[in-house]
Structure 1
């Protein structure tokens, strides 16, 4: 009987830990949005396995960054935007909000465009009409968060994440790449300014500024703030596994997209666009794989635009102490994407450029986060370890350095 009691107690603790997971999976949607699809397919179809290493490094940095963000919210009871809102004076705070809002808008635009492209591929729906449909559908998802519970919203997002994973991994499994080619792609190198631009785009699509701002609020809102050090320590420990699990899934999806393009689309004409890549995938791997890919892209656009809108509200609330209902915000932020779709701008080009813009917004979120989580005055006993401080600082330096190289090479012209 004693053994049975101990077994049930152990099982109960495991189940309680399981039900505490979720916030990181919501944040991880930012790492598998349509911008990732555009950047990864472009990288694989144009340069083969050359930039696999960029995704691996970016995903490792994402694990570190998202863990630090979630830990900040749990250890202090405040989100990153709230800390910045309290520490900055009025004018700098408004400028800071403007750049963060611009990043969130670029994210949201990419996600709506990606969803519209998916509807066009699957059902032939015009892009502008598809943008409207994605906007309305994302509103319904946001209703779950605002009128039901965050857990319900998390469950819906996790289901969509599963659909995304199946949609983008299936094609790679049908035509597995050669292991030697994959290993060769792990060697860090570039091949001219275009590959640096693409690497910046991939980095901006993987380490997402709005996800850095959002995760601290997601973890805090889900678990609350406890005055008990022991409770906070337990929640932070569970959150570490939440982040690792979510980002491993997102990383595998991203790498699968690049490997699919490198092994099945390399040298195929027209694969520099999502529509062209979809046509080539359908031709090379069959219509079933093409439809599954389209469904994954649709789920990606729908889930990520909901999370992006949530992030924008978190940024505005923290930096300006101003709250706009999520549904109203959804309507406002839908306008830029619809303008791009209505103007006839090539969707994949718009997606890649939006990801480059995101890469320039990363330091504004990442550097304050590293400073806060590395401060014992802010974090108390939950302050970053020396190893985590070094890893976070190295991530920030790498991102900033890549952007400097990008600007320098672009001004100097192609080499």
Structure 2
């Protein structure tokens, strides 16, 4: 990498690999036609220009996969696995910040770096693994959407699985009105259910000392706790998010000065921290409500049965004390919004992964159709054979797959962000790499 500077302190970052060279200009097609230009002046007001990528990424932390694993964690182990959520959230902040820094400093996203640095076979294997992680992430979205349609319209789960493809394509078509407006609406709906769980906390009254003990005292007590802990981790820190975050930051046209790059890295960390804090509180509240309600001595026989095999299709009873008869409908709307918004970000991630690793671009609807077909097949088989219970177990398995996929995205990220050649003064410290 060569760094050149003029009198106006406008450095240009250029990396060469073989016969290819990369500049700081984004090599991806912007998914949003409204590119944001950050003013070349020091001001806290610039923070608002950087708001967006962190919240899009954080949607994956409150998707149907998270709700499913959170609900089962609380029902089976009360607050005993809350420490996984805290650990994963702290790790996520560091990891997502590294992904953002990679895009800001080098002007390339993670998949492009992999294509430039690794041999063809290694690059192909990493691409396949990244695609598997995107499909594994899409399975909970498919099943969550099917559950939502079942709660809203009494549509059988297996038919809802088939309809998820059409619903996602319809939502993608609405992007012509502006992706930011669409994501704002989706985030509002998701936060609505979060508000309901926060309100339910007041009714469930989980023991504060037990919650704090669950957050700060690691434990894996009970049969199946380790498997569920792995699922919680996989549902929180998703491999495709590293590719997505490093690409989304390129939608901002930042000043290519030392001050401008430093400010971008700092503000992206602040934005990611705030977004992930909201996601952390939502996950903690879902586990706490599930743990408090399902482990209550006053639980009636019907709710006891629901807690023994708790899945997204039965979870609305947890909100009954706050919302009454509207609990299932509002939970279904938020679950639908969560699944669809996560699908959109998954489509973006898939586009960046395919373009970065293979230098191949597809239309978003075609890319989504291919990914969704791969996710629909196992979901449909399980839904037909195992019903809602089997579909819920498939979400747990998909989350476990994501946990084992994480190193194949994380190790290249650490390698590139630790490189003085690529990152210069922004390279990882030894402590961060450790």
The verdict on a shared fold, with TM-score over 0.5 as the criterion, is: yes
Q: How does 1:6-155 map to 2 (within 5 A)?
A: 13-143=43-173, 147=176, 151-152=180-181, 154-155=183-184
Distance across 2 between alignment mates of 1:330 and 1:103:
14
Match of 1:227 in 2: 256
TM-score, normalising length from structure 1?
0.84
Q: Spell out, residue by residue over 1:81-108, the C-alpha distance to the aligned partner (whole angstroms, 9 max, x if none).
A: 1101111222221111111101100101
Distance across 1 between alignment mates of 2:45 and 2:190:
21
Shift, 1:80, TM fit: 0.6
More helix by share: 1
1:380 paired to 2:430: no
SS at match of 2:368: helix
Match of 2:406 in 1: 362
Match of 1:342 in 2: 380
Pick from 267, 275, 296: which aligns with 1:238?
267
Q: How does 1:248-287 map to 2 (within 5 A)?
A: 248-266=277-295, 268-271=304-307, 272-275=309-312, 277-278=314-315, 280-281=317-318, 286-287=324-325
Distance across 1 between alignment mates of 2:415 and 2:177:
35
Q: From the superposition, tell whether residues 152 and 76 of structure 1 become closer, same or farther in structure 2 (CA, over 3 Å).
A: farther
Q: Spell out, residue by residue over 1:154-198, the C-alpha distance to the aligned partner (whole angstroms, 9 max, x if none).
A: 534543443353354343343231112212212101114510100
Name structure 1 gaps, 5 residues minimum: 1-8, 394-415
Distance across 1 between alignment mates of 2:420 and 2:218:
35
Q: From the superposition, tell whether residues 364 and 132 of structure 1 become closer, same or farther in structure 2 (CA, over 3 Å).
A: same
Distance across 1 between alignment mates of 2:46 and 2:326:
39
Stretch deviating more after TM superposition (339-348 or 63-72): 339-348
Name structure 2 gaps, 5 residues minimum: 1-38, 297-303
Q: Spell out, residue by residue over 1:347-384, the C-alpha distance to the aligned partner (whole angstroms, 9 max, x if none).
A: 21111100000000111111111121122211112222
**RMSD (Å), alpha carbons:** 2.4
Pick from 230, 247, 252: which aligns with 1:217?
247
Match of 2:9 in 1: none
Match of 2:338 in 1: 300
Shift, 1:239, TM fit: 0.6
TM-score, normalising length from structure 2?
0.81
Pick from 299, 320, 324: which aligns with 2:358?
320
Pick from 187, 207, 211: which aligns with 1:178?
207
Contact map agreement 2:100 2:246 (CA 8 A) in 1: yes
Q: From the superposition, tell whether residues 49 and 308 of structure 1 become closer, same or farther in structure 2 (CA, over 3 Å).
A: same
